[in-house]
Amino acid sequence: MTELTRSLLDAAAELLAAHGSRGLRMAEVAAKAGVSRQTVYNEFGNKERLVQAVALHKTAEFVAGVRERLLGTPDPVEGLRLGVEFAFDLAERDVLARSVLTGANAEDMLPLLTTRGRPVLTLATSVIVQHLRRHRPELPDARVHLIADTIVRVALSHLLTPDSRRVEAVVHVAEALLGAGDR
């Protein structure tokens, strides 16, 4: 990713947190990044593609941190616990994630995690699939994908529901799906 792209994504993320996608103006992104409006259009084409790029960029930040934690422990369930804790903690600290999840200013971004959330789900699920394959190579591919998809969806559900930020709930679901007793 170029410095220009990163600068535009960071500027857009700040503005999205404050105004949502409906309130996002390409000219404001350009001004915040110190470039022309045409540069923003040249880089992303239109506002919808910019918003999608921000969503994927932010998801990649979350996924990188989760992946780091998954790789940092030999125990598959402990890795999941650490990864989910990281994601929940980052969601509280990240201004855009907090705004989207609480509906404060960017509630119109919520579909990027729900009804239009396929790119986010695919990226997050792929990391969990890799983790499961590394630790449970005997599991059939279809089961690995089902377990990974379910873990990601349960974690997202807990992120989206205030007062339900329970890492243990996600971990218990993962253990049940993995058949933790037969690990």
pLDDT at residue 163 above 90? no
Tokens standing for residue 100: 């989207």
What pTM value is reported for the model?
0.83
Q: What pLDDT does residue 113 have?
A: 77
CATH topology of domain 54-182: Tetracycline Repressor; domain 2 (1.10.357)
Question: How confident is the model over 141-156, as a mean pLDDT?
Answer: 95
pLDDT at residue 137 above 80? yes
pLDDT at residue 182 above 50? no
Whole-number Å distance between alpha carbons of 119 and 115 = 11
Tokens standing for residue 183: 């690990």
C-beta of residue 170 within 8 angstroms of C-beta of residue 153: no
Whole-number Å distance between alpha carbons of 39 and 70 = 38
Whole-number Å distance between alpha carbons of 82 and 38 = 42
Contacts of 102 (CB under 8 A, 6+ apart): 162
C-beta of residue 108 within 8 angstroms of C-beta of residue 54: no
How many Å separate Cα 176 from the centre of its chain?
Answer: 23
pLDDT at residue 95 above 70? yes
C-beta of residue 21 within 8 angstroms of C-beta of residue 106: yes
Confidence of residue 183 (pLDDT cuts 50, 70, 90): very low
Of the chain, the percentage scoring pLDDT greater than 70 comes to 96
